[in-house]
Amino acid sequence: MCGIAAIASHKSVAKQLYQSLLNLEYRGYDSCGMALMDQNKLALRKNIGNVGEVNDKEHFEELKGNMGIAHTRWATHGGVTSENSHPHFSNDNSFIIVHNGIFSNYQKVQKELLNKGFTFQSQTDTEVFANLLQDEYQTTLDIETAFCQAIERIEGSYAIAMITLHQPDTVFAVKKDSPLVIGINDGANYISSDMNAFISETRDTVIINDMEYVMLTKDDFTVKRLADKQSVSKQIIHVQWDKQTAQRGGFSHYMLKEIFDQPQTVRQALHIPKEEIDTIADKFLTRKQSFCVGVGTTYYVAMIGTYLFSKYAGLYVPNVSADEFPAIIPVSDDQHVLFFSQSGETYDTRMAIRAAKSKGAATSAIVNVVGSSISQEVDNCIFQGSGPEICVVSTKAALSQIIILWQIVLNVGLKNGSLTQEQVDLYRENIFEFSRTIETVLNEESGNIRNLAKETSHIKNWLFMGKSIYYPVALESALKMKEVTYLHAEGLPSGFLKHGTLAMVDENMYCLFFIPTKETKDLYESTMMAIEEVKARKGKVIGFCTDDDTEAMNLLDHYLVIPDKHPELNFLVEMVMAQLLSYYCALDLGLNIDKPRNLAKSVTVG
Name residues whose C-beta falls within 8 Å of residue 200's C-beta, 6 or more positions apart in sequence.
19, 23, 243
- Under the binding rule (CB under 6 A), the answer on residue 295 touching ligand F6R is yes
- Is the CB of 123 or the CB of 604 nearer to ligand F6R? 604
| Of 10-18, 233-241, 342-350, 443-451: span binding ligand F6R (CB under 6 A) | 342-350
- Under the binding rule (CB under 6 A), the answer on residue 199 touching ligand F6R is no
Closest CA to 497 of 534, 537, 545: 534
- Is the CB of 31 or the CB of 375 nearer to ligand F6R? 375
Query: What minimum distance in Å lies between the beta carbon of 206 and ligand F6R?
Result: 36
Catalytic residue among 2, 32, 292, 545: 2
Neighbours of 330 (CB within 10 A): 6
- Under the binding rule (CB under 6 A), the answer on residue 549 touching ligand F6R is no
Distances (CA, A) of 48 to 32, 58, 95, 423, 483: 6, 10, 22, 43, 34
DSSP class of 44:
E
Choose, by CB under 6 A, the member of 23, 264, 349, 384 that binds ligand F6R: 349
Are 368 and 397 in contact, with CB atoms under 8 Å apart? yes
- Is the CB of 128 or the CB of 398 nearer to ligand F6R? 398
Distances (CA, A) of 545 to 15, 156, 171, 549, 565: 52, 33, 47, 6, 12
- Under the binding rule (CB under 6 A), the answer on residue 394 touching ligand F6R is yes
Name residues whose C-beta falls within 8 Å of residue 595's C-beta, 6 or more positions apart in sequence.
392
Question: What is the DSSP track for 345-389?
Answer: --HHHHHHHHHHHHTT-EEEEEESSTT-HHHHHSSEEEE------
- Under the binding rule (CB under 6 A), the answer on residue 596 touching ligand F6R is no
Please calculate the CA angle 218-191-264 and round it to the nearest 5 degrees: 165
- Is the CB of 160 or the CB of 353 nearer to ligand F6R? 353
Query: What minimum distance in Å lies between the beta carbon of 397 and ligand F6R?
Result: 7
- Is the CB of 479 or the CB of 560 nearer to ligand F6R? 479
- Is the CB of 301 or the CB of 361 nearer to ligand F6R? 301
Q: Is 181 exposed, middle or buried (0-12, 13-18, 19+ CB in 10 A)?
A: buried
Helices (H) and strands (E) in the chain, counts: 19, 24
Choose, by CB under 6 A, the member of 343, 363, 386, 520 that binds ligand F6R: 343
Query: What minimum distance in Å lies between the beta carbon of 423 and ligand F6R?
Result: 31
- Under the binding rule (CB under 6 A), the answer on residue 399 touching ligand F6R is no
- Under the binding rule (CB under 6 A), the answer on residue 384 touching ligand F6R is no
Helices 470-485 and 297-313 pack at an angle, to 10 degrees, of: 170
Is 2 one of the catalytic residues? yes
Query: What minimum distance in Å lies between the beta carbon of 343 and ligand F6R?
Result: 3
- Is the CB of 197 or the CB of 391 nearer to ligand F6R? 391
- Under the binding rule (CB under 6 A), the answer on residue 297 touching ligand F6R is yes
* Dihedral sign from CA coordinates of 269, 274, 276, 282: positive
Closest CA to 389 of 258, 224, 301, 264: 258
With residues binned 3-state (H G I as helix, E B as strand, rest as coil), the percentages for the chain, rounded to 5, are 45, 25, 35
- Under the binding rule (CB under 6 A), the answer on residue 323 touching ligand F6R is no
| Of 122-130, 157-165, 335-343, 502-510: span binding ligand F6R (CB under 6 A) | 335-343
Is 381 one of the catalytic residues? no
Name residues whose C-beta falls within 8 Å of residue 67's C-beta, 6 or more positions apart in sequence.
6, 7, 8, 9, 13, 36, 37, 163, 168, 169, 171, 218
Catalytic residue among 274, 311, 415, 601: 601
- Is the CB of 174 or the CB of 392 nearer to ligand F6R? 392
The mark string for 460-479 relative to ligand F6R (x by CB under 6 A, - otherwise) is: -------------------x
CA pair distance 292, 305, nearest whole angstrom: 7
Choose, by CB under 6 A, the member of 8, 216, 393, 487 that binds ligand F6R: 393
Query: What minimum distance in Å lies between the beta carbon of 196 and ligand F6R?
Result: 25
- Under the binding rule (CB under 6 A), the answer on residue 483 touching ligand F6R is yes
Q: Is 439 exposed, middle or buried (0-12, 13-18, 19+ CB in 10 A)?
A: middle
Choose, by CB under 6 A, the member of 306, 342, 386, 517 that binds ligand F6R: 342
Choose, by CB under 6 A, the member of 65, 263, 296, 539 that binds ligand F6R: 296
| Of 51-59, 338-346, 357-365, 458-466: span binding ligand F6R (CB under 6 A) | 338-346
- Under the binding rule (CB under 6 A), the answer on residue 285 touching ligand F6R is no
Query: What minimum distance in Å lies between the beta carbon of 587 and ligand F6R?
Result: 17
Task: Name the pairing type of β-strands 488-493 and 461-466.
Answer: parallel
Query: What minimum distance in Å lies between the beta carbon of 576 and ligand F6R?
Result: 14
CA pair distance 378, 349, nearest whole angstrom: 11
Query: What minimum distance in Å lies between the beta carbon of 254 and ligand F6R?
Result: 13
Query: What minimum distance in Å lies between the beta carbon of 272 and ligand F6R?
Result: 17
How many residues form the binding site for ligand F6R (CB under 6 A)?
A: 14
- Is the CB of 161 or the CB of 369 nearer to ligand F6R? 369
Distances (CA, A) of 113 to 96, 139, 154, 261, 317: 17, 14, 13, 34, 40
- Under the binding rule (CB under 6 A), the answer on residue 341 touching ligand F6R is yes
- Under the binding rule (CB under 6 A), the answer on residue 582 touching ligand F6R is no
Between the two ends of the chain, the Cα-to-Cα distance in Å is 30
- Under the binding rule (CB under 6 A), the answer on residue 586 touching ligand F6R is no
Query: What minimum distance in Å lies between the beta carbon of 428 and ligand F6R?
Result: 25
Distances (CA, A) of 584 to 118, 213, 536: 53, 37, 29
CA pair distance 361, 355, nearest whole angstrom: 9
Interface residues toward ligand F6R, by CB under 6 A: 295-298, 341-343, 346, 349, 393-394, 479, 483, 603
By annotation, the residues acting in catalysis are: 2, 601
